[in-house]
Structure 1
Amino acid sequence: MTVKTLKIDGKDVAIEQGATILQAAKEAGIKIPTLCFLEGVTPAAACRMCMVEIEGSSKLQPACVTEVAEGMAVQTNTPKLQNFRRMNVELLFAEGNHVCAICVANGNCELQDMAITVGMDHSRFPYRFPDRHVDVSHEQFGIDHNRCILCTRCVRVCDEIEGAHVWDVAQRGEHCFIVSGLHQPWGEVDACTSCGKCVDACPTGAIFRKGSTTGEKERDRAKLEFLVTAREKREWTR
Protein backbone atom coordinates (compact mmCIF):
# COMPACT_ATOMS: atom_id res chain seq x y z
CA MET A 1 0.00 0.00 0.00
CA THR A 2 1.41 3.37 -1.04
CA VAL A 3 1.09 6.09 1.59
CA LYS A 4 0.94 9.83 0.89
CA THR A 5 2.00 12.43 3.45
CA LEU A 6 0.58 15.94 3.48
CA LYS A 7 -0.23 18.85 5.76
CA ILE A 8 -3.79 19.92 6.58
CA ASP A 9 -4.03 23.16 8.53
CA GLY A 10 -0.37 22.66 9.46
CA LYS A 11 -1.00 19.16 10.81
CA ASP A 12 0.99 16.23 9.37
CA VAL A 13 -1.27 13.54 7.91
CA ALA A 14 -0.41 10.18 6.34
CA ILE A 15 -3.03 8.28 4.36
CA GLU A 16 -3.16 5.71 1.59
CA GLN A 17 -2.89 6.75 -2.02
CA GLY A 18 -6.26 7.40 -3.66
CA ALA A 19 -7.85 8.87 -0.55
CA THR A 20 -9.51 12.27 -0.80
CA ILE A 21 -8.64 15.38 1.16
CA LEU A 22 -11.97 15.00 2.99
CA GLN A 23 -11.02 11.49 4.09
CA ALA A 24 -7.57 12.65 5.15
CA ALA A 25 -9.04 15.53 7.16
CA LYS A 26 -11.45 13.17 8.89
CA GLU A 27 -8.55 10.85 9.71
CA ALA A 28 -6.76 13.82 11.30
CA GLY A 29 -9.81 14.95 13.25
CA ILE A 30 -10.26 18.09 11.14
CA LYS A 31 -13.86 18.89 10.24
CA ILE A 32 -14.62 20.19 6.76
CA PRO A 33 -18.26 21.25 6.27
CA THR A 34 -20.32 19.30 3.73
CA LEU A 35 -23.92 19.16 2.55
CA CYS A 36 -24.04 16.86 -0.48
CA PHE A 37 -21.48 14.35 0.81
CA LEU A 38 -22.90 11.10 2.22
CA GLU A 39 -20.70 8.27 3.45
CA GLY A 40 -21.07 5.13 1.35
CA VAL A 41 -22.21 6.68 -1.95
CA THR A 42 -20.22 8.27 -4.76
CA PRO A 43 -19.29 11.90 -3.97
CA ALA A 44 -20.90 14.45 -6.26
CA ALA A 45 -19.15 17.72 -5.30
CA ALA A 46 -22.50 19.43 -5.88
CA CYS A 47 -22.79 21.73 -2.86
CA ARG A 48 -19.24 23.18 -2.94
CA MET A 49 -19.24 23.57 0.85
CA CYS A 50 -16.11 21.45 1.24
CA MET A 51 -13.89 23.69 -0.88
CA VAL A 52 -10.33 24.04 0.42
CA GLU A 53 -7.21 26.00 -0.47
CA ILE A 54 -4.21 24.04 -1.76
CA GLU A 55 -0.80 25.64 -1.75
CA GLY A 56 0.35 26.36 -5.31
CA SER A 57 -3.18 26.40 -6.76
CA SER A 58 -5.09 29.60 -7.50
CA LYS A 59 -8.42 27.76 -7.43
CA LEU A 60 -10.43 26.39 -4.54
CA GLN A 61 -10.83 22.61 -4.76
CA PRO A 62 -13.64 20.35 -3.47
CA ALA A 63 -12.20 18.16 -0.72
CA CYS A 64 -14.68 15.32 -1.31
CA VAL A 65 -13.32 14.46 -4.78
CA THR A 66 -9.76 15.83 -4.75
CA GLU A 67 -7.19 13.10 -4.14
CA VAL A 68 -4.30 13.66 -1.77
CA ALA A 69 -0.81 14.09 -3.21
CA GLU A 70 2.63 13.79 -1.68
CA GLY A 71 3.71 17.02 0.00
CA MET A 72 0.34 18.70 -0.48
CA ALA A 73 -0.38 21.61 1.89
CA VAL A 74 -4.09 22.22 2.50
CA GLN A 75 -5.95 24.96 4.36
CA THR A 76 -9.55 24.27 5.33
CA ASN A 77 -10.74 27.32 7.26
CA THR A 78 -9.15 30.53 5.98
CA PRO A 79 -11.08 33.85 5.89
CA LYS A 80 -11.46 33.36 2.13
CA LEU A 81 -13.10 29.96 2.65
CA GLN A 82 -15.29 31.24 5.48
CA ASN A 83 -16.60 34.04 3.25
CA PHE A 84 -17.12 31.65 0.35
CA ARG A 85 -19.10 29.17 2.47
CA ARG A 86 -21.31 31.86 3.96
CA MET A 87 -22.05 33.24 0.49
CA ASN A 88 -22.82 29.71 -0.71
CA VAL A 89 -25.37 29.13 2.06
CA GLU A 90 -26.93 32.55 1.48
CA LEU A 91 -27.39 31.67 -2.19
CA LEU A 92 -29.06 28.37 -1.29
CA PHE A 93 -31.56 30.16 0.94
CA ALA A 94 -32.20 32.90 -1.64
CA GLU A 95 -32.62 30.46 -4.52
CA GLY A 96 -35.34 28.32 -2.91
CA ASN A 97 -38.28 28.73 -0.54
CA HIS A 98 -36.81 27.77 2.83
CA VAL A 99 -39.28 28.85 5.49
CA CYS A 100 -37.82 27.05 8.48
CA ALA A 101 -40.64 27.89 10.89
CA ILE A 102 -43.14 25.69 9.02
CA CYS A 103 -40.77 22.98 7.74
CA VAL A 104 -41.02 19.33 8.80
CA ALA A 105 -37.21 19.34 9.28
CA ASN A 106 -37.07 22.47 11.46
CA GLY A 107 -34.47 21.77 14.16
CA ASN A 108 -33.26 18.67 12.29
CA CYS A 109 -32.03 20.19 9.04
CA GLU A 110 -28.46 20.15 7.78
CA LEU A 111 -28.95 23.35 5.76
CA GLN A 112 -30.19 25.08 8.89
CA ASP A 113 -27.23 23.73 10.85
CA MET A 114 -24.85 24.89 8.14
CA ALA A 115 -26.28 28.41 8.27
CA ILE A 116 -25.48 28.48 11.99
CA THR A 117 -22.01 27.05 11.38
CA VAL A 118 -21.06 29.72 8.83
CA GLY A 119 -22.64 32.54 10.85
CA MET A 120 -25.43 33.39 8.43
CA ASP A 121 -28.25 35.45 9.93
CA HIS A 122 -29.58 36.90 6.66
CA SER A 123 -28.98 36.69 2.92
CA ARG A 124 -27.48 39.63 1.10
CA PHE A 125 -29.06 38.36 -2.13
CA PRO A 126 -32.66 39.01 -3.24
CA TYR A 127 -34.97 36.06 -2.66
CA ARG A 128 -36.23 34.56 -5.89
CA PHE A 129 -39.41 32.93 -4.52
CA PRO A 130 -39.63 30.30 -7.30
CA ASP A 131 -42.98 28.67 -8.04
CA ARG A 132 -42.28 25.00 -7.30
CA HIS A 133 -44.71 22.19 -6.68
CA VAL A 134 -45.14 19.61 -3.96
CA ASP A 135 -45.71 15.97 -4.99
CA VAL A 136 -47.64 13.93 -2.41
CA SER A 137 -48.90 11.30 -4.86
CA HIS A 138 -46.91 8.56 -3.08
CA GLU A 139 -48.82 6.60 -0.45
CA GLN A 140 -46.18 7.10 2.27
CA PHE A 141 -43.90 9.97 1.23
CA GLY A 142 -43.87 13.42 -0.33
CA ILE A 143 -41.35 15.69 -2.01
CA ASP A 144 -41.39 19.47 -1.64
CA HIS A 145 -39.25 20.94 -4.42
CA ASN A 146 -39.26 24.30 -2.64
CA ARG A 147 -36.86 22.93 -0.03
CA CYS A 148 -34.61 20.92 -2.37
CA ILE A 149 -30.97 22.05 -2.60
CA LEU A 150 -30.07 19.63 -5.43
CA CYS A 151 -27.51 17.76 -3.34
CA THR A 152 -28.52 14.58 -5.27
CA ARG A 153 -28.21 12.40 -2.17
CA CYS A 154 -31.61 10.85 -2.94
CA VAL A 155 -30.51 10.09 -6.51
CA ARG A 156 -27.29 8.38 -5.42
CA VAL A 157 -28.79 6.44 -2.51
CA CYS A 158 -31.67 5.14 -4.61
CA ASP A 159 -29.31 4.14 -7.42
CA GLU A 160 -26.27 2.83 -5.54
CA ILE A 161 -27.79 1.33 -2.37
CA GLU A 162 -31.41 0.45 -3.18
CA GLY A 163 -30.76 -0.18 -6.88
CA ALA A 164 -34.12 1.25 -7.97
CA HIS A 165 -32.97 4.48 -9.63
CA VAL A 166 -36.28 6.23 -9.09
CA TRP A 167 -34.69 9.69 -8.91
CA ASP A 168 -32.70 11.75 -11.37
CA VAL A 169 -31.96 15.39 -12.24
CA ALA A 170 -33.93 17.03 -15.02
CA GLN A 171 -33.26 20.24 -16.98
CA ARG A 172 -30.11 22.35 -16.77
CA GLY A 173 -28.74 25.33 -14.86
CA GLU A 174 -31.22 27.29 -12.75
CA HIS A 175 -34.08 25.16 -14.08
CA CYS A 176 -32.73 21.89 -12.62
CA PHE A 177 -35.00 19.85 -10.39
CA ILE A 178 -35.20 16.33 -9.02
CA VAL A 179 -37.48 14.13 -11.09
CA SER A 180 -39.07 10.75 -10.29
CA GLY A 181 -39.30 8.13 -13.02
CA LEU A 182 -39.61 9.69 -16.45
CA HIS A 183 -41.05 12.87 -14.95
CA GLN A 184 -43.99 10.95 -13.48
CA PRO A 185 -45.75 11.64 -10.20
CA TRP A 186 -43.80 9.75 -7.53
CA GLY A 187 -46.78 7.56 -6.69
CA GLU A 188 -46.94 6.27 -10.27
CA VAL A 189 -43.32 5.12 -10.47
CA ASP A 190 -43.39 1.31 -10.41
CA ALA A 191 -39.65 1.10 -9.67
CA CYS A 192 -40.09 2.70 -6.22
CA THR A 193 -39.82 0.10 -3.44
CA SER A 194 -41.08 2.51 -0.72
CA CYS A 195 -37.89 1.81 1.24
CA GLY A 196 -37.57 5.37 2.57
CA LYS A 197 -33.81 5.59 2.01
CA CYS A 198 -34.23 8.86 0.13
CA VAL A 199 -36.02 10.31 3.17
CA ASP A 200 -33.15 9.27 5.43
CA ALA A 201 -30.60 10.69 2.99
CA CYS A 202 -32.25 14.08 2.39
CA PRO A 203 -30.49 16.83 4.38
CA THR A 204 -33.51 19.15 4.42
CA GLY A 205 -37.30 18.80 4.56
CA ALA A 206 -37.54 18.27 0.80
CA ILE A 207 -38.35 14.55 1.04
CA PHE A 208 -40.50 13.58 3.99
CA ARG A 209 -42.87 11.01 5.44
CA LYS A 210 -46.50 11.97 4.99
CA GLY A 211 -48.21 12.91 8.23
CA SER A 212 -45.14 14.68 9.59
CA THR A 213 -45.74 18.22 10.80
CA THR A 214 -43.42 21.09 11.70
CA GLY A 215 -40.19 19.89 13.28
CA GLU A 216 -41.21 16.21 13.27
CA LYS A 217 -38.99 14.81 10.53
CA GLU A 218 -36.49 12.26 11.80
CA ARG A 219 -33.85 10.36 9.89
CA ASP A 220 -32.42 6.93 10.46
CA ARG A 221 -28.87 7.37 9.17
CA ALA A 222 -27.82 4.22 11.05
CA LYS A 223 -29.89 2.20 8.55
CA LEU A 224 -27.94 3.65 5.62
CA GLU A 225 -24.62 3.09 7.40
CA PHE A 226 -25.57 -0.53 8.10
CA LEU A 227 -26.53 -1.15 4.48
CA VAL A 228 -23.28 0.36 3.22
CA THR A 229 -21.28 -1.85 5.61
CA ALA A 230 -23.30 -4.88 4.53
CA ARG A 231 -22.67 -4.16 0.86
CA GLU A 232 -18.97 -3.30 1.09
CA LYS A 233 -17.84 -5.66 3.84
CA ARG A 234 -20.53 -8.33 3.41
CA GLU A 235 -21.44 -8.01 7.08
CA TRP A 236 -25.19 -8.62 7.07
CA THR A 237 -25.80 -8.75 10.80
CA ARG A 238 -25.28 -6.12 13.45
Structure 2
Amino acid sequence: MFPDRTFGNYSKSFITDLPADLESEQARHYRETLTRFPEEAVYIYSFKENRMVYADGWDEILGYKDEEVSMMTIVNITSPEYAPFSHELNDKALMFIQSRTEDLEKYSFTIELKKIHKHGHDVPLIVKVGVFSSEGGKMTAIIGRSQVNRSLKLGSVMRYDAYGPDKSKFEEELNKQLFRHYAISGKEKEALAMVAKGYSLKEIAYEFNVSLSAIEKRIFPMYKRFDVKNLSHLVSFAYDNHILP
Protein backbone atom coordinates (compact mmCIF):
# COMPACT_ATOMS: atom_id res chain seq x y z
CA MET A 1 0.00 0.00 0.00
CA PHE A 2 2.88 2.34 0.80
CA PRO A 3 6.34 2.90 -0.69
CA ASP A 4 9.16 1.16 1.13
CA ARG A 5 10.83 3.60 3.50
CA THR A 6 13.69 3.02 5.88
CA PHE A 7 12.70 3.14 9.51
CA GLY A 8 13.86 1.81 12.86
CA ASN A 9 14.80 -1.84 12.40
CA TYR A 10 14.13 -2.61 16.04
CA SER A 11 10.58 -1.24 16.00
CA LYS A 12 9.96 -2.86 12.63
CA SER A 13 10.44 -6.33 14.11
CA PHE A 14 7.53 -5.74 16.50
CA ILE A 15 4.82 -4.31 14.25
CA THR A 16 2.52 -5.66 11.55
CA ASP A 17 0.22 -4.38 8.83
CA LEU A 18 -2.89 -5.89 10.44
CA PRO A 19 -5.69 -3.40 11.17
CA ALA A 20 -8.10 -3.65 14.08
CA ASP A 21 -11.29 -5.66 14.08
CA LEU A 22 -13.53 -2.80 15.14
CA GLU A 23 -16.52 -5.13 15.55
CA SER A 24 -14.76 -7.11 18.27
CA GLU A 25 -15.90 -6.94 21.88
CA GLN A 26 -12.52 -5.46 22.80
CA ALA A 27 -12.81 -2.64 20.27
CA ARG A 28 -16.38 -1.86 21.33
CA HIS A 29 -15.19 -1.64 24.94
CA TYR A 30 -12.49 0.86 24.01
CA ARG A 31 -14.96 2.89 21.97
CA GLU A 32 -17.20 3.19 25.02
CA THR A 33 -14.48 3.91 27.57
CA LEU A 34 -11.72 5.92 25.84
CA THR A 35 -12.09 9.67 25.46
CA ARG A 36 -11.14 11.15 22.10
CA PHE A 37 -10.93 14.90 21.60
CA PRO A 38 -11.80 16.85 18.42
CA GLU A 39 -9.14 16.61 15.71
CA GLU A 40 -7.50 13.75 17.56
CA ALA A 41 -6.97 10.15 16.46
CA VAL A 42 -6.30 7.24 18.81
CA TYR A 43 -4.92 3.74 18.36
CA ILE A 44 -4.07 0.78 20.58
CA TYR A 45 -1.53 -1.72 19.32
CA SER A 46 -1.21 -5.13 21.02
CA PHE A 47 2.16 -6.86 21.13
CA LYS A 48 0.40 -10.02 22.31
CA GLU A 49 -1.85 -10.14 19.24
CA ASN A 50 0.70 -8.50 16.92
CA ARG A 51 -1.90 -6.19 15.46
CA MET A 52 -3.85 -3.02 15.91
CA VAL A 53 -6.76 -3.69 18.28
CA TYR A 54 -8.38 -0.26 18.20
CA ALA A 55 -8.39 2.82 15.96
CA ASP A 56 -10.63 5.88 16.06
CA GLY A 57 -10.57 9.31 14.41
CA TRP A 58 -8.11 8.64 11.59
CA ASP A 59 -10.52 9.57 8.80
CA GLU A 60 -11.11 12.94 10.45
CA ILE A 61 -7.46 13.96 10.70
CA LEU A 62 -5.64 12.00 7.98
CA GLY A 63 -8.28 10.61 5.62
CA TYR A 64 -7.79 6.89 6.44
CA LYS A 65 -10.73 4.80 7.56
CA ASP A 66 -10.29 3.42 11.06
CA GLU A 67 -10.77 -0.13 9.83
CA GLU A 68 -7.84 0.18 7.38
CA VAL A 69 -5.31 1.80 9.72
CA SER A 70 -2.49 -0.48 10.85
CA MET A 71 0.67 0.23 12.80
CA MET A 72 2.57 0.07 9.53
CA THR A 73 0.24 2.71 8.09
CA ILE A 74 1.02 5.11 10.90
CA VAL A 75 4.77 4.54 10.58
CA ASN A 76 4.86 4.92 6.82
CA ILE A 77 2.84 8.14 6.52
CA THR A 78 5.33 10.18 8.54
CA SER A 79 6.50 13.09 6.42
CA PRO A 80 9.97 12.26 4.97
CA GLU A 81 11.84 15.07 6.72
CA TYR A 82 10.64 13.81 10.12
CA ALA A 83 10.70 10.07 9.46
CA PRO A 84 14.34 9.22 10.33
CA PHE A 85 14.18 10.98 13.68
CA SER A 86 10.71 9.65 14.49
CA HIS A 87 11.70 6.07 13.71
CA GLU A 88 14.85 6.27 15.81
CA LEU A 89 12.88 7.79 18.67
CA ASN A 90 10.45 4.87 18.47
CA ASP A 91 13.36 2.42 18.56
CA LYS A 92 15.08 3.98 21.54
CA ALA A 93 11.85 4.44 23.51
CA LEU A 94 10.80 0.84 22.90
CA MET A 95 14.22 -0.45 23.95
CA PHE A 96 14.19 1.61 27.12
CA ILE A 97 10.68 0.62 28.18
CA GLN A 98 11.41 -3.04 27.51
CA SER A 99 14.33 -2.75 29.92
CA ARG A 100 11.95 -1.73 32.72
CA THR A 101 9.69 -4.02 34.75
CA GLU A 102 7.79 -1.66 37.09
CA ASP A 103 5.28 1.17 36.61
CA LEU A 104 5.36 0.62 32.86
CA GLU A 105 2.02 2.32 32.26
CA LYS A 106 3.55 5.58 33.52
CA TYR A 107 6.04 5.81 30.63
CA SER A 108 5.33 7.81 27.47
CA PHE A 109 6.91 10.20 25.01
CA THR A 110 5.74 12.98 22.72
CA ILE A 111 7.03 14.26 19.40
CA GLU A 112 5.99 17.12 17.14
CA LEU A 113 5.96 16.20 13.46
CA LYS A 114 3.96 16.04 10.26
CA LYS A 115 2.05 13.09 8.81
CA ILE A 116 0.94 12.81 5.21
CA HIS A 117 -2.81 12.96 4.66
CA LYS A 118 -4.28 10.37 2.30
CA HIS A 119 -4.88 13.20 -0.17
CA GLY A 120 -1.19 14.13 -0.11
CA HIS A 121 -0.90 17.24 2.07
CA ASP A 122 1.02 17.47 5.35
CA VAL A 123 -0.78 17.64 8.70
CA PRO A 124 1.07 19.05 11.77
CA LEU A 125 0.60 16.80 14.80
CA ILE A 126 1.59 16.42 18.41
CA VAL A 127 1.94 12.66 18.86
CA LYS A 128 1.95 10.99 22.26
CA VAL A 129 2.76 7.29 22.63
CA GLY A 130 2.58 5.50 25.96
CA VAL A 131 2.33 2.08 27.54
CA PHE A 132 -1.32 1.02 27.65
CA SER A 133 -0.98 -2.32 29.45
CA SER A 134 1.59 -4.74 30.86
CA GLU A 135 1.70 -8.21 32.34
CA GLY A 136 4.39 -9.74 34.51
CA GLY A 137 6.66 -6.74 34.11
CA LYS A 138 6.43 -6.73 30.32
CA MET A 139 4.67 -4.24 28.06
CA THR A 140 1.76 -5.83 26.20
CA ALA A 141 0.15 -2.86 24.43
CA ILE A 142 0.77 0.79 23.58
CA ILE A 143 -1.64 3.64 23.04
CA GLY A 144 -1.01 6.46 20.62
CA ARG A 145 -2.79 9.80 20.37
CA SER A 146 -2.24 12.16 17.44
CA GLN A 147 -3.60 15.67 17.91
CA VAL A 148 -3.78 18.17 15.05
CA ASN A 149 -2.15 21.47 16.01
CA ARG A 150 -2.32 23.97 13.16
CA SER A 151 -0.43 26.59 15.19
CA LEU A 152 2.72 24.46 15.30
CA LYS A 153 5.70 26.10 13.64
CA LEU A 154 7.89 23.17 12.69
CA GLY A 155 11.39 24.01 11.55
CA SER A 156 14.46 21.85 11.05
CA VAL A 157 14.79 20.98 14.75
CA MET A 158 12.86 17.98 16.03
CA ARG A 159 11.08 18.53 19.35
CA TYR A 160 10.25 15.73 21.76
CA ASP A 161 9.80 14.94 25.43
CA ALA A 162 9.92 11.86 27.66
CA TYR A 163 7.81 11.06 30.72
CA GLY A 164 7.88 8.42 33.40
CA PRO A 165 9.09 7.49 36.89
CA ASP A 166 12.70 7.59 35.67
CA LYS A 167 12.30 10.54 33.30
CA SER A 168 15.94 11.64 33.48
CA LYS A 169 17.26 8.18 32.64
CA PHE A 170 14.64 7.77 29.89
CA GLU A 171 15.68 11.03 28.28
CA GLU A 172 19.37 10.21 28.71
CA GLU A 173 18.91 6.93 26.83
CA LEU A 174 17.03 8.66 24.03
CA ASN A 175 19.72 11.31 23.74
CA LYS A 176 22.55 8.81 23.24
CA GLN A 177 21.60 8.22 19.62
CA LEU A 178 19.12 10.93 18.69
CA PHE A 179 21.51 13.85 18.80
CA ARG A 180 23.02 13.06 15.43
CA HIS A 181 19.74 14.66 14.30
CA TYR A 182 18.78 18.28 14.88
CA ALA A 183 16.70 17.66 18.00
CA ILE A 184 15.87 19.19 21.35
CA SER A 185 14.23 17.62 24.39
CA GLY A 186 11.56 19.23 26.53
CA LYS A 187 14.02 19.56 29.42
CA GLU A 188 16.56 21.34 27.22
CA LYS A 189 13.91 23.62 25.75
CA GLU A 190 12.71 24.52 29.27
CA ALA A 191 16.21 25.61 30.29
CA LEU A 192 16.80 27.42 26.99
CA ALA A 193 13.58 29.40 27.42
CA MET A 194 14.90 30.74 30.73
CA VAL A 195 18.23 31.67 29.11
CA ALA A 196 16.24 33.65 26.54
CA LYS A 197 14.52 35.51 29.39
CA GLY A 198 17.90 36.63 30.72
CA TYR A 199 18.42 34.15 33.56
CA SER A 200 21.98 33.07 34.29
CA LEU A 201 22.78 29.36 34.36
CA LYS A 202 23.22 29.62 38.14
CA GLU A 203 19.77 31.19 38.48
CA ILE A 204 18.24 28.50 36.28
CA ALA A 205 19.82 25.79 38.43
CA TYR A 206 18.29 27.44 41.50
CA GLU A 207 14.84 27.64 39.87
CA PHE A 208 14.92 23.95 38.91
CA ASN A 209 16.52 22.91 42.21
CA VAL A 210 19.38 21.13 40.48
CA SER A 211 23.13 21.64 40.37
CA LEU A 212 24.81 24.13 38.07
CA SER A 213 26.57 21.25 36.30
CA ALA A 214 23.16 19.67 35.57
CA ILE A 215 22.07 22.84 33.75
CA GLU A 216 25.39 23.09 31.92
CA LYS A 217 24.85 19.52 30.68
CA ARG A 218 21.52 20.63 29.20
CA ILE A 219 22.84 23.78 27.54
CA PHE A 220 26.43 23.25 26.44
CA PRO A 221 25.91 20.13 24.24
CA MET A 222 23.59 22.24 22.09
CA TYR A 223 26.54 24.43 21.04
CA LYS A 224 28.06 21.57 19.04
CA ARG A 225 24.74 20.07 17.96
CA PHE A 226 23.46 23.33 16.46
CA ASP A 227 26.90 24.72 15.53
CA VAL A 228 26.62 27.88 17.65
CA LYS A 229 29.39 29.73 19.49
CA ASN A 230 27.74 31.16 22.60
CA LEU A 231 24.47 31.62 24.49
CA SER A 232 23.35 34.61 22.44
CA HIS A 233 23.92 32.67 19.23
CA LEU A 234 22.05 29.67 20.68
CA VAL A 235 19.04 31.81 21.63
CA SER A 236 18.98 33.40 18.14
CA PHE A 237 19.13 29.95 16.58
CA ALA A 238 16.22 28.84 18.80
CA TYR A 239 14.02 31.72 17.65
CA ASP A 240 15.00 31.34 14.00
CA ASN A 241 14.09 27.64 14.05
CA HIS A 242 10.82 27.97 15.97
CA ILE A 243 12.17 26.21 19.07
CA LEU A 244 11.08 29.19 21.14
CA PRO A 245 7.91 31.19 20.40
TM range (shorter): under 0.3
Larger RCO: 1 or 2 (CA < 8 Å, sep 6+): 1
- The alignment's TM-score, normalised by the length of structure 2, stands at 0.22
- The alignment's TM-score, normalised by the length of structure 1, stands at 0.22
Return the structure number with greater strand share: 2
